[in-house]
Amino acid sequence: MLKLGSKAPDFTAPAYQQGKFINVKLSDYLGKWVVLCFYPGDFTFV
């Protein structure tokens, strides 16, 4: 379990960038500001 103020674990996630799907790793942005946005139900039939 993560605690407030602790570092986020490294992960890889699919992303859509410049017209194609890619995989991004959180560690690729080490030392930079990162804003994570997600839609838990996006691209699903609800």
Q: Higher confidence at residue 42 or residue 4?
A: 4
**Structural contact between residues 25 and 15, judged by C-beta atoms closer than 8 angstroms:** no
Q: What is the pLDDT of residues 4-35, one digit of tens each?
A: 888 889 999 988 889 999 999 999 999 999 88
pLDDT band for 37, please (50, 70, 90 cuts): confident
Q: What is the pTM of this model?
A: 0.59
pLDDT at 10: 94
pLDDT at 44: 66
Which string of DSSP letters, residue by residue, matches 11-42?
-EEEEEETTEEEEEEGGGGTTS-------TTT
